[in-house]
Chains A and B, each alone.
Chain A
């Protein structure tokens, strides 16, 4: 029984991380149909910001965390302005490929101007200490991560339901043209979507950094790949779908670790992606399909 609870908690914290990132992808996709593969590089931006602040001997963890999240938001908004505005009304494939390109540029900029090798950042290790709950040992980080995700999702829901801009964003995901006819500026809605997406990536970055303790140029790639998968499985563009997909992916991943014998450890990703592919064959549009009637986004 302890074992089951233990693994469920693990699945929950894995899932929380994927859900955070998947939400960031979904919120942008729902509004402008862009699969933002450069999302993972916002994590790297946050990570390198931490390196910079630690190097400037501003090692106060609060300042470091704040700066990392802020930079992720700024980078996300900047990217929208520079790279994604020209392809805003293009088809998803064009956007996807643009995002691949952007991602390559950012990763190689870090490679060129910082270092191809990992850089250690130990400032956030203090977030991680073992907690023993009657036989179940978990890390404090898992609790923080799950709770932060819950809070972030709650705030996001409040923002989307209660504020005018949030309402505009939800409306834009159904019919962007109509929203613009109502006098809402398209640029503001899209910029806000990217800001929220950057914020979520920044939060995820804090936890990823606390766990791995180092940055390298391609650190955002694997998390965003998983988030991408979570999004598609949940139903691309559906925000509840992204959260569901994230937690589902976390569960599948932990399940695979439990079920697969040790010698097959290297095959975990193969099985996870295999299951994901089968889910997609079963439901090509994902589990929680977003509204089919999307207005023309022109």
Chain B
């Protein structure tokens, strides 16, 4: 077989198994969603919905962090930007006149349909990510991480300070609640395919190579900065989608959820599952979401009949921290390491 053909076949097989893997993951996620819709109660729906929003965040995080191997701490900020941008566009004028009477640039004088609003939010987030990304992709390691950290702090201060646009610590209300579990299932499936296909694409493979050996990849002609930028912007777009899903379901947003607590929660999910794979992102999110629900139940001090546990505030935080430390000590690559879901079923397990 000639060499180009071999290369082409190789690429195709990677992408084919990527499609299989994405389909498997989607099937599992849709199954969970359907089970909850059929058998769950109302509050189950809310819990599962927020778990799926977090899954979208973790996937957005994985696209950049997993492929470029640079710890990102600003993802919740991009989620916030997406959520606020969509919220500002979609909220009815009457409500905005009440909640944002002093908004500049006529932000309270128009109203768009949800789809256009979402599209604008995605474009705005993508553009901001592009500008910031131009600075971030040139750094690597701890330097890049600290700039993402700075970004998180900056965005959060702007949310808090510009109360005339974002309402700061108060709730931004009146967003039409148009999403339900079905909508987010569809979005999740799309994002799973996007993330997985990006990982197996030419860009994804080169980016992963550059994260293992930056100098080596450069020597082979990989434009590391450009690829990082692509992954960064794609990640930000996915994060914006997560923010939009969050806003369209709750109808009310505030700046607080887009800060450190959420950053660490989603980071823990990605780390536990294994940041190098999409399967890891999904697995980590599922494990931690379910696990935390259990821990929270203990936290409220349930009555076991014989033993009445006291309220244990902070237990979920401890559990999350222990999960991170234990994962790092025992399995730094996360549970999945470098394996995607379909490899678990194939005979060749490497």
Contacts and interface: CB of A to CB of B under 8 A. Distances in A.
Contact of A264 (B139, B161, B330, B332): B161
A94 interface: yes
Nearest to B148: A277
Contact of A280 (B69, B143, B158, B268): B143
B325 interface: yes
Given A267-B158, A270-B161, A97 B143 contact: no
A117 to B, nearest CB: 11
A101 B313 contact: no
Contact of B315 (A94, A108, A276): A108
Contacts of B160: 266
B69 A116 contact: no
Nearest to A108: B317
A280 B161 contact: no
A97 B73 CA distance: 11
Interface in A112-143: 112, 116
30 contacts: A83-B325, A83-B329, A86-B330, A90-B332, A92-B142, A93-B69, A94-B328, A94-B332, A98-B325, A100-B264, A100-B324, A101-B268, A101-B322, A104-B318, A104-B320, A105-B317, A107-B314, A108-B314, A108-B316, A221-B260, A229-B150, A267-B158, A267-B161, A270-B157, A273-B153, A277-B151, A277-B154, A284-B138, A284-B140, A285-B143
Given A87-B332, A101-B323, A266 B71 contact: no
Interface of B: 69, 71, 135, 138-143, 145-147, 149-151, 153-154, 157-158, 160-161, 260, 264, 267-268, 271, 312-318, 320-325, 328-330, 332
A215 interface: no
A241 B349 CA distance: 47
Interface in A23-79: 35
A238 interface: no
Contacts of A228: 146, 149
A267 B161 CA distance: 7
Most A-side CB within 10 Å, residue of B140, B267, B328: B328
Given A108-B318, A266-B157, A277 B147 contact: yes
Given A104-B320, A112-B314, A266-B161, A280 B329 contact: no
Contact of A284 (B139, B151, B314, B321): B139
Contacts of B268: 101
A217 B321 CA distance: 15
Top 9 nearest A-B pairs (CB, nearest first) are A101-B324, A108-B317, A104-B321, A111-B314, A105-B321, A86-B329, A270-B157, A273-B150, A112-B314
B157 A276 contact: no
B315 A35 contact: no
Interface in A179-219: 217
Contact of A103 (B145, B161, B321): B321
Contact of B138 (A96, A104, A276, A281): A281
A181 B154 CA distance: 46
Nearest to B260: A221
B271 to A, nearest CB: 6
A158 interface: no
A232 B143 contact: yes
Contacts of B312: 112
Nearest to A264: B161
Contact of B153 (A100, A107, A269): A269
A102 interface: yes
Contacts of B316: 108
A295 interface: no
A18 interface: no
Contacts of B138: 281, 284
B322 A280 contact: no
B313 A116 contact: yes
A276 B143 CA distance: 11
A237 B321 CA distance: 26
